[in-house]
Amino acid sequence: MNDLLSVENLTFENCHGKRWQHKEKRFTLGPVNFSIQAGETLAIVGANGSGKSLLAKLLVGLERPDSGSIYLNERKLEQYDNKHRVLNIRMVFQNSNESLNPGITLGSILEEPLKLNTNLDGRARIIKVEETLRLVGLLPEHRFFYRHMLSDGQKQRVALARAIILNPQVIVADEPFAALDPSVRSQTVNLLMELQRELGLGFIFISHNLGIVRHISDKILVMKHGKVVESGKTEVIFHWPKDEYTKRLVHAHQALINGQD
Amino acid sequence: MPRLNLYQEEFYPSPIQNTWKEFKENHAAVVSLYCVIFFIFIMIFGPFLAPFDPLQQHIDFLLVPPAWDNNGDISHLFGTDGLGRDMLSRILYGCRMTFGISLLLVVVSMLIGVALGAMAGMSKGFRSSMVNHLLDSIMAIPTLLIAIIIIAIVGTGLVNSMWAISLALIPQFIHQTRDIVRQKMKKEYVLAAQLDGAGKVHIFFNSILPNMAEMLVVQVTLALSVAILDISALGFLNLGAQAPSPELGALLSEGLSTAYVTPWNIALPGAAIFFMMMSINLVGDGLRSALRYRLLR
């Protein structure tokens, strides 16, 4: 089976400060290699500042990699081929509150990607928006609502709707569950898994919560200081971690679960 | 699947209806809105309402007091001035001139200022900071002073004073717009719009402009009061509108020569300016809080 998305030797070097200030402290990411197939879930775990969000930004094209390449359906994504990338790789932000525009209705927020990337007319756009809202478990009437009228869980659903409205193949989510309380979190997780099953999405997500990671992901990428320390199938990593850092992560998680029993 | 509509009577107000709902709560602002509408009405239909030509001199009626005075005459409701010109007609024409010109100036300088400010805010680096610091230095000088300096260079006259005032108003719009655009450009929803493939122009009109309304209302209110005051001040100083023209500031300065004999000749144009300023400021204030609460409740 062909890979949906594969990343080869992706690197990125972040120089702090201006060019004339010779600062020693530099952050280098990578080289990163991974691939996922349609319907698969890849989880990226690691400590704060290990370059997880940066990797997500590189994938969706907000930052330019220094070297390496990203292939979507075996086709290389060029830096300026934004149209192709926008249509197929969509991002869900960590803070859904901030990623929704407070001044316009949810309908216009969701219509924006359609306006920019499709040839649908006004009526068809509204139908598509209503369909998508229903798909994420909201009402069609929610398109008249503003950001401040929604609860956090509903905002997360809207952020998800915004990601899937263009029928993408890959969704990149940067800690989509971090700000949610446990019940809403499990609702959202189930919603995501359901959507993934229905639409056959490849799903890349960043999380601190190893419980969720173990529950929904097929593969794991463990990162530390910008380097990939371990990657592989979820069950393999949880049962036989090789790297010291991964071992500690898994043990901490196990201790937490066993402590609760 | 047929569209399921559970609540037939459910009604989703548009943004404008929402704003009006909040605006209605503030009674002072609503009264002021009627006042502003009255001035706009005068601005448009003033010539049809005025009983006489504002420049026509009635030789038999010199310095007649207003109609409610014992010596007043009902044919001249607000009395006449030293040359026998009907004050009511002059004030109606004066409101039309002062208010209309200020409105025009503010709209023009808003369009130019917001366009330039948006460009400055979206660009980065040297160009943007140059615009910023250049305008900061201009904003340190009061607009009236800038207007007087410009008039000193190009000469007196109503058209010249209009140029001067709009040039003096533009920097404030540029500065405020630039600030707010830079602030909003850092927000995550702009990032999200970029990921939708939006260009700069699209981001400005669709993501930033809807969030700029509050700032624009405050700025337009301020600019409108500044423009009215400056137009009348320049008219009063004989730098703007010249003597026979019925501009409110010019009316004041003409009335000043006979102030002790006919105090109504300065009281009435002064009151017109006062009501204009007050209603504009109250409407602006009410509109600003309505726009803010629209997105909170």
pLDDT (tens digit, 9 = 90+) per residue, B7-39? 655 677 777 888 888 888 889 999 999 999 999
Q: Does B262 touch chain A (CB under 8 A)?
A: no
> Which chain A residues are closer than 8 Å to B3 by Cβ?
130, 140
Vertex A185, ends A184 and A189: CA angle to 5°?
A: 115
If one compares A219 and A75, the residue with the highest pLDDT of the two is: A219
Inter-chain contacts counted by CB atoms under 8 A, chains A and B:
66
Residue found under tokens 């999380």: A207
Contact B198 A112 (CB under 8 A): yes
At residue B107, does pLDDT exceed 90? yes
Contact B197 A104 (CB under 8 A): no
| pLDDT bucket at B224, cuts 50 / 70 / 90 | very high
Q: Which member of B12, B191, B197 has the closest CB to residue A117?
A: B197
> Which chain B residues are closer than 8 Å to A60 by Cβ?
195
- Mean pLDDT score, B70-82: 83
Written as six digits, the tokens of A141 are: 């009437």
If one compares A82 and B192, the residue with the highest pLDDT of the two is: B192
Percentage of chain B beyond pLDDT 70 is: 96
Contact A91 B192 (CB under 8 A): yes
Gap between the Cα atoms of B285 and B29, Å rounded: 8
Element (H, E) at B6: none
Q: Within 13 Å of residue B5, how many CA atoms lie on the same side as its CB?
A: 6
> Which chain B residues are closer than 8 Å to A62 by Cβ?
191, 194-195
Q: Which member of A98, A108, A140 has the closest CB to residue B187?
A: A98
Written as six digits, the tokens of B246 are: 């019925």
Q: Which member of B194, B210, B297 has the closest CB to residue A103?
A: B210
- pLDDT for position B111: 94
**A259 burial level (CB within 10 Å; 0-12, 13-18, 19+):** exposed
- pLDDT for position A1: 56
- pLDDT for position A165: 87
At residue A177, does pLDDT exceed 80? no
Gap between the Cα atoms of B144 and B231, Å rounded: 9
Could you report how far apart the first and last alpha carbons of chain A are, in Å?
41
> Which chain A residues are closer than 8 Å to B210 by Cβ?
101, 103-104
C-beta separation of B268 from B87 below 8 A: yes
> Which chain B residues are closer than 8 Å to A99 by Cβ?
188-189, 191-192
- pLDDT for position B4: 60
| pLDDT bucket at A80, cuts 50 / 70 / 90 | low
C-beta separation of B260 from B63 below 8 A: no
At residue B124, does pLDDT exceed 80? no
Residue of B nearest to A82 (CA): B197
Cβ neighbours for A180, distance < 8 A, ≥ 6 positions apart: A152, A153, A156, A188
Contact A148 B3 (CB under 8 A): no
- pLDDT for position A22: 56
**Closest chain A C-alpha to B18 CA, distance in angstroms:** 11
Written as six digits, the tokens of B273 are: 């300016």
- pLDDT for position A55: 84
At residue B237, does pLDDT exceed 70? yes
Contact A102 B211 (CB under 8 A): yes
Residue B113, SS3 per DSSP: helix
- pLDDT for position A188: 81
**Closest chain B C-alpha to A172 CA, distance in angstroms:** 12
Q: For chain B, positions 191-210, list CB contacts with chain A under 8 A.
A: 191-198, 202, 206-207, 210
- Mean pLDDT score, A238-257: 82
Gap between the Cα atoms of B287 and B214, Å rounded: 8
Contact B192 A93 (CB under 8 A): yes
Gap between the Cα atoms of A135 and A131, Å rounded: 6
pLDDT tens digits for range A94-139 = 777 788 888 888 888 888 888 888 888 888 888 888 888 888 888 8
pLDDT tens digits for range B244-274 = 888 888 888 888 888 888 888 888 889 999 9
- pLDDT for position B244: 81
> Which chain B residues are closer than 8 Å to A61 by Cβ?
195
Contact A99 B213 (CB under 8 A): no
Nearest to B265 by CA among B20, B54, B65: B65
Name the pTM for this structure: 0.82
- pLDDT for position B275: 92
Gap between the Cα atoms of B294 and B52, Å rounded: 46
- pLDDT for position B37: 94
Cβ neighbours for B200, distance < 8 A, ≥ 6 positions apart: B122
- pLDDT for position A83: 74
Residue A240, SS3 per DSSP: coil
Contact B12 A144 (CB under 8 A): yes
Going by DSSP bridges, is the β-strand pair A89-92/A170-174 parallel, antiparallel, or unpaired? parallel
C-beta separation of A231 from A36 below 8 A: no
pLDDT tens digits for range B163-190 = 888 988 888 898 889 889 988 888 888 8
Q: For chain B, positions 36-75, list CB contacts with chain A under 8 A.
A: none
| Chain B interface, best mutation among A59, A99, A125, A139, by max B CB count within 10 A | A99
Element (H, E) at A32: strand A26-36
Vertex A205, ends A202 and A208: CA angle to 5°?
A: 155
- pLDDT for position A139: 85
Written as six digits, the tokens of B177 are: 């717009």
Tell me how long chain A is. Answer: 261
Q: Within 13 Å of residue A57, how many CA atoms lie on the same side as its CB?
A: 15
Element (H, E) at A54: helix A52-60
At residue A180, does pLDDT exceed 80? no
What is the overall mean pLDDT for chain B? 86
**B59 burial level (CB within 10 Å; 0-12, 13-18, 19+):** exposed
Domains of chain A: 5-258 (3.40.50.300)
- pLDDT for position A21: 54
Residue of A nearest to B209 (CA): A103
Contact B202 A116 (CB under 8 A): yes
Gap between the Cα atoms of B156 and B138, Å rounded: 22
| Backbone angles phi and psi of B142, in degrees to 5 | -60, 150
| Chain A interface, best mutation among B3, B8, B12, B189, by max A CB count within 10 A | B189
What is the overall mean pLDDT for chain A? 81
Written as six digits, the tokens of A81 are: 């081929």
- pLDDT for position B276: 92
Written as six digits, the tokens of A53 are: 């969000």
| Chain B interface, best mutation among A19, A112, A138, A139, by max B CB count within 10 A | A112
| pLDDT bucket at A160, cuts 50 / 70 / 90 | confident
pLDDT tens digits for range A198-220 = 888 888 888 887 888 888 888 88
Written as six digits, the tokens of A98 are: 């901030």
Percentage of chain A beyond pLDDT 90 is: 0
Residues from A in contact with B at Cβ < 8 Å: 60-62, 82-83, 86, 90-91, 93, 95, 98-105, 108, 112-113, 116-117, 130, 140-141, 144, 146-148, 162
At residue A26, does pLDDT exceed 80? no
- pLDDT for position B1: 47
- Alpha-helical runs (H) found in chain B: 15-24, 27-49, 87-122, 126-139, 143-154, 158-185, 188-195, 200-203, 213-236, 248-257, 264-294
